[in-house]
Amino acid sequence: MIPTAFISIDTSPFFYNDLMAVQAMMRPPPSSSWRCTDEECMMSYPVSHLEDASLRLVLGDDGKTITLSGERKIEGCQCQPRDDVIITLPFTPSAPEALSSSIDKGRLTITLSKHAKIPEAKTILIKRQEPKTADASQIRFVPQESASASVVEEKMLDAFDKFRAVAALARKDGQETPAQASNASETVNVTAQA
């Protein structure tokens, strides 16, 4: 009897069976990121697929982005496809001179200075608010007839008279003789019993 054996050899080291490895392969390659020091921020971007003479960097209107544009290198093709990439800046530069760039071996290095020096002093206008007209901003006080000084004094005197009358009644009630007070309490008791 001839022994038969089947041997199976897997040429991949289980790489494609691993779920994490498949996810890692499907992820886009990491984009260039800014590296910052105390003085400047730098970013290196691959541009070997673009014509060196056609490269342009444009600072956006808002000052928060730069656009890298250039024509692709395609041999044997007369077409000129463009490639535009918008790069977000880590901070808004204080002056356009804060941005600089250089190309070395197919990589564009963009440098953003944190402490850019402005070449000349610039006058900054101070916005002043025009004084408002007196008619629009003035509050007018219109006194009422009931708020005149003579009416107020009369009401105050009337109130004082009422307080004096209440105080006189309280004194009068406090000066009753004990016999009158006991008669009053007996009247109350008799009335309560009836």
Contacts of 45 (CB under 8 A, 6+ apart): 32, 68, 85, 87, 107, 108, 109, 110
Torsion of CA 161, 163, 166, 172, to 10 degrees: -80
Domain identity same for 106 and 35 = yes
Residue corresponding to tokens 């007996």: 186
Is 165:173 a contact under the CB 8 Å cutoff? Answer: no
42 in any annotated domain? yes
Q: One digit per residue, pLDDT tens: the chain, 194 residues?
A: 566 666 655 555 555 556 666 666 555 555 678 888 888 889 888 888 887 788 888 888 888 888 888 888 777 776 676 767 888 888 888 777 778 888 888 888 888 888 776 666 666 676 767 766 655 556 777 767 666 677 778 888 999 999 999 999 888 887 765 555 555 445 444 444 44
Greatest Cα pair distance in the chain:
145
Domain boundary among 82, 113, 144: 113
Is 82:71 a contact under the CB 8 Å cutoff? Answer: yes
Question: What CATH number is attached to the domain comprising 62?
Answer: 2.60.40.790
Domain identity same for 102 and 41 = yes
138 in any annotated domain? no
Residue 110: what are its φ and ψ, rounded to 5°? -105, 130
78 in any annotated domain? yes
Contacts of 190 (CB under 8 A, 6+ apart): none
Q: Which of 65, 71, 66 is nearest to 83 (CA)?
A: 71
122 in any annotated domain? no
125 in any annotated domain? no
Domain boundary among 88, 113, 138: 113
Domain identity same for 94 and 162 = no
84 in any annotated domain? yes
- Residue 32 is classified by DSSP as P
For the chain, how far is it from start to end, CA to CA, in angstroms? Answer: 136
124 in any annotated domain? no
CA–CA separation, 83 vs 57, rounded Å? Answer: 12
List the structure tokens of 181: 């007070």
Residue corresponding to tokens 């105050």: 156
Number of structural domains found in the chain: 2
Domain boundary among 113, 135, 163: 113
Query: What range does the domain containing 69 cover?
Result: 30-113
59 in any annotated domain? yes
CB count within 10 Å of CB 66 equals: 20
Quick one: which H or E segment has residue 101?
strand 99-104
The reported pTM is 0.45
